[in-house]
Amino acid sequence: MRILNRVYAVLGWAIVALGGLHMLSTFRLSASSPASRVWFFGSGIAMALVGALNLLHRSYGQLAPGLRVVCRSANVALTLFALVAGQITHSTIAEYILILGLLGGALLLSCLRSLHGADL
């Protein structure tokens, strides 16, 4: 379980980093409206916050049952959002693999009860 705990940490940090990259890339969107850029930046904030939730859940999940519920719900919501967004924006297979690998992996690991707060 120690390896899974580390994988969960890597996934959490990778989601935070992806959210940060998403926010930074907003400034390179030249052909979109200001409102579109605001929503794009907000999506990056949501990703970074879900990544942070996973990191908190990894560390304190056994002590905070409410955190478990919120983290799992956020993982489900963001994973479903990514699926829909990928369809709408015609994402490539590589983009799907990257995003769903990160978000789906975090979702699966957030559901393992033996992982939370153990062997840190």
- Angstrom CA distances, 55 to 9, 35, 36, 63, 81, stand at 6, 31, 29, 14, 20
Q: Which sequence spans correspond to the domains of the chain?
A: 2-115
Per residue in 89-109, pLDDT (tens digit) is: 999 999 999 999 999 999 999
Q: Tell me the C-alpha distance between 81 and 10, whole Å.
A: 21
* Exposed/middle/buried for residue 103 (C-beta within 10 Å: 0-12, 13-18, 19+): buried
End-to-end Cα, the chain, rounded Å: 10
User: What is this structure's pTM?
Assistant: 0.88
Per residue in 14-69, pLDDT (tens digit) is: 999 999 999 999 988 877 888 989 999 999 999 999 999 999 999 998 889 899 99
